[in-house]
Amino acid sequence: MAAEGRRDGSKGIPEIQISACKPYEMGFTIGIHFEAMIRSRVACDPYLSSSLQPFASTKLGRDLVHLLSKTNSERYPEYWDELRGLADGSGVPFLSIILMNFRKEISPFLPDVRVSNIVGAPDQCSDILICSDELAVMAHNEDGDASLRNHVYIVNATLENGVSFFAYTCAGELPSCCFGFNSNGVAFTLDSVPPAPEEVVPGGIGRNFVSRDLLESSDIHDALRRVQIENLSAGHNYNIMDVNSRKMFTTETASRGRASVREINRDAFYHANMYQHLSAVKQIVHQSSVCRQKRVAELPMNTLQEVLTILADDSNQDFPVYMQGPQLHTLCTAIFDMNEKSLTILTGKPSSMSVLRRVLMTTWTAKEE
């Protein structure tokens, strides 16, 4: 096993390259390399300290964490070992790592959430999907809480099974709850969807484990199979493309085996943070998603420049597409281009946009310099 840290330019994203190793070793190596960042995130995450950790000290919380741990470690033992290695390498208590990775599976069971019917702080991400001969892109705004600023890194790994992946990762979490791709040409972006608390099954499979599994997909069909799981705890939106078959799909999932798969074509499709085509799921629709959806419907999205303009839109000061605080921030914009077979990670708005990272998916390997 070998590991190497890198930073691409003064504004680049911290990155680690890891060659074939056991799951625990991979997690341990990431933990050591990003120890300071992981510890910093744990220390400054307000939701972890004010809600998740106190709840985990109650009987209800302990029982739920135990059930989540049992279910997910049995289905995904290798990824569980990665988490253990991550905790040991960073020196962060394993419970804190677990709580960050099960945030969305635990939040609906907090007492104040059951009363208020609000599932934690609203996650925000935006995706525009187009798949035509002229333009075939998944364009994604990665939005997050202010505590995630300067707490992300790229994991660039080759696994023992020969699959390599490139994953934009939140510090202390499994790769990747954000976006990534692998050496089989499968790429994905993710959007949170907020089911009502009664829709969430206690102790089911967590979304971070599903997206980690997605990084090992062999093709688009295998990817769709991996995200449609019978015993999910909550649900998620997965936007997936396969550069080899030139296929692109958006998939919404929910507990109890519910899923809706929609193929993307030349008609541009925008996804915010709510269920759009999976029916019969009770959900909490945040005003931000409603406003973003309405604003995007007013704008053309036929060219890449128009797509970027939409993702940078802040005309609605209360609920913009491009977020600039105080609580929520657009951390970066990711463009997967199927025609170029590339991923470009951008920061800033079009007038001042800079490239953080650009990768050609067809020539990339985990040892790329």
pLDDT tens profile 326-354: 788 899 999 999 999 999 999 987 667 78
Q: Is residue 360 part of a domain?
A: no
Number of domains in the chain: 1
Contact 85, 28 (CB under 8 A): yes
Q: Name the one residue in this structure whose structure tokens are 């969305």.
A: 104
Q: Is residue 40 part of a domain?
A: yes
Length of the chain: 369
Q: Considering only CA atoms, which of 267, 251, 305 is closest in space to residue 131?
A: 267
The pLDDT of residue 147 is: 85
What mean pLDDT, rounded, does the chain reach? Answer: 90
The pLDDT of residue 120 is: 43
For Cα atoms 21, 171, 293, give the angle at the middle one, nearest 5 degrees. 120
Q: Name the one residue in this structure whose structure tokens are 């625990």.
A: 24
Residues of the chain with pLDDT under 50: 5-10, 114-120, 366-369
- What is the domain range of residue 59? 17-109
Q: Is residue 21 part of a domain?
A: yes
End-to-end CA distance of the chain: 17
Q: Is residue 136 part of a domain?
A: no
Q: Is residue 54 part of a domain?
A: yes
The pLDDT of residue 335 is: 96
Q: Is residue 65 part of a domain?
A: yes
Residue 303: other Cβ atoms inside 10 A: 12
Q: Which helix (H) or strand (E) holds 158?
A: strand 152-158
The pLDDT of residue 79 is: 98
The pLDDT of residue 8 is: 40
The pLDDT of residue 3 is: 54
